[in-house]
Amino acid sequence: MFDLSGKIAVVTGGGSGIGRAISVLFARQGAHVHLLELNEAAASEAADEIRQAGGQVTVHACDVARQDEVQSVFETIGTPQILVNNAGIAHVGNLEGTTEAHFDRIVAVNVKGVYNCLYAAVPRMKAAGGGVVLNMASVAALVGIPDRFVYSMSKGATLAMTLSVAKDYLKAGIRCNSISPARVHTPFVDGFIAKNYPGNEAEMFAKLSATQPIGRMAKPEEIAALALFLCSDEAAFITGCDYPIDGGFVKLNN
């Protein structure tokens, strides 16, 4: 089950966190993984891990916010059978704490970046008779979260794009779904806590973990496992769906 042998999988932001976990797992399951990553050092580390395990991987330095760069990379890759739109950035702030520069940067990466990769991949998948797209949304698209104004907006857009692509390309054999994680323990979380709460890292980590009713953050590998299922042939009957993977955050928080 969940065999990806012979498939080309593109993972944006594949050098760290959730993207790295997805890339490593997909390669382990037989896919040739193409990492699109702005951070070349992180991509190189992820690629080394994949190669040491006997997997196939190609690294592409790419800013997903730049359509010319994305198109150039896809011309090199050709037609992927799987696209995982994982690359994204965060911002902490309510409406008044969101400047135009903040807004534009989040939209460029989290919204336009997804669009750019869809725009490059979907026509190729359509011409080849089908494919699978998985977009990384967030529980922030589903519930109100304090001080996440523009981030929540961007993930709401990701969810809407998921539904639109799923609807428009049903007859082209393209499935499109999304995952909405709650907090996941990644290097980004550790860096955020260290920067904003120096000296209180352990206390803040425990506080953020406790916001999930299950009592902890997710592991990147747990998100990757769901991604593998949704991108595999075993999920061939699933399209146009969003999957919260949130330790009870959406339904059990009161």
Which pLDDT does position 52 carry in this prediction?
98
Listed in sequence order, the residues at least 6 apart from 232 whose beta carbon sits closer than 8 Å to its beta carbon are 1, 2, 3, 4, 29
Supply the pLDDT for residue 119.
Answer: 98
**What is the tens place of the pLDDT at every residue in 60-103?**
999 999 999 999 999 999 999 999 999 999 999 999 999 999 99
Q: What percent of the chain has pLDDT above 70?
A: 100
Q: What is the mean pLDDT of residues 187-191?
A: 87
- pTM, two decimals, is 0.96
Burial 28-53 (b: 16+ CB within 10 A, else e): bbebbbbbbbbeeebbeebbeebeee
The helix/strand/coil state of 182 is: coil
Q: Which of 149, 122, 147, 150 is closest to 135 using CA atoms?
A: 122
**225 touches 23 (CB < 8 A):** no
Please check the confidence at residue 254 and state whether its pLDDT lies above 70.
Answer: no
Task: Collect all residues with Cβ–Cβ distance below 8 Å to 2 and sequence separation of at least 6.
Answer: 29, 228, 229, 232, 234
Using the predicted structure, report yes or no on whether residue 212 has a pLDDT greater than 70.
yes
Residue 183 within any structural domain of the chain? yes
The least confident of 111-115, 170-174, 191-195 is 191-195
Residue 175's domain comprises: 8-252
Any domain includes 12: yes
Let me know if residue 1 belongs to a domain: no
Q: Is 197 a catalytic residue?
A: no
Give residue 9's identity as a one-letter amino acid code: A
Q: How far apart are CA 253 and CA 100, in angstroms?
A: 32
pLDDT tier at 187 (50, 70, 90 boundaries)?
confident
pLDDT tens for residues 119-144? Answer: 999 999 999 999 999 999 999 999 99
Read off the pLDDT band of 196 (50, 70, 90).
confident
Does residue 2 form part of some domain?
A: no
Q: Are 59 and 47 in contact (CB under 8 A)?
A: yes
The structural domain count of the chain equals: 1
159 occurs within a structural domain: yes
What's residue 175's pLDDT? 98
* Mean pLDDT, rounded, of the chain: 96
Give the integer Cα–Cα distance in Å for 194 and 189. 9
High-pLDDT (> 90) share of the chain, %: 94
Tokens of 112: 């336009």
Angle between helices 112-128 and 67-77 (to 10 degrees): 30
Mean pLDDT of 183-194: 90
Q: What is the CATH number of the domain that holds 71?
A: 3.40.50.720
Is 176 a member of any domain? yes
Catalytic residue among 115, 119, 151, 169: 151
Whether residue 3 is contained in a domain is answered as: no
Beta bridge mates, 32? 8, 56
| DSSP helix/strand/coil, 20 | helix
Q: Is residue 165 part of a domain?
A: yes
**Average pLDDT over every residue of 224-240:** 98
